[in-house]
């Protein structure tokens, strides 16, 4: 019974390889060039949140709207792939991150 409660309360922390799983930083989709920019954000709990921005290749300081994608329990920012193509086709950027304690977000002392 203890292992079942651990599974529900403290689920397995999924890991992924940024280079292999997220794909190339520049990519072509439907004859348009897009880019992925990875960055870290520090939060108040001393975690570095692993974040990514997917956007059309910016030309002449053009501005775009963005959607912030928040994954569910046991998820990570790879779950944003479910909406990525449809959203990028509308010239809206997608920002996704791994919550504190999930996937590739790490605790710093």
* Phi–psi pair at 77, nearest 5 degrees: -65, -15
Q: Where are the alpha helices (DSSP H) in 1-109?
A: 2-9, 18-21, 81-88
- The pLDDT-based confidence of 85 (bands split at 50, 70, 90) is very high
The pTM assigned to this predicted structure is 0.78
Q: Which residue has the tokens 């992924």?
A: 16
CATH code, domain with 64: 3.40.50.1820
Distance CA 77, CA 98 (A): 5
- The pLDDT-based confidence of 104 (bands split at 50, 70, 90) is low
pLDDT per residue as tens digits for the range 29-70: 989 999 999 999 888 877 788 899 999 987 778 889 999 999
**Is 70 exceeded by the pLDDT of residue 92?**
yes
Residue 9: predicted pLDDT: 59
The number of domains in the chain is: 1
**Is 80 exceeded by the pLDDT of residue 98?**
yes
**Residue 29 domain boundaries:** 2-107
């Amino acid at each position: 019974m203890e292992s079942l409660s651990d599974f529900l309360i403290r689920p397995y922390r999924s890991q992924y390889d940024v280079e292999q799983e997220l794909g190339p930083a520049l990519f072509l989709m439907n004859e348009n060039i897009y880019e992925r920019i990875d960055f870290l954000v520090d939060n108040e709990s001393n975690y570095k949140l692993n974040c990514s921005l997917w956007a059309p290749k910016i030309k002449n300081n053009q501005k775009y709207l963005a959607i912030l994608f928040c994954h569910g329990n046991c998820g990570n920012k790879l779950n944003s792939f479910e909406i990525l193509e449809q959203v990028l086709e509308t010239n809206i950027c997608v920002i996704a991150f791994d919550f504190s304690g999930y996937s590739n977000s790490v605790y710093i002392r």
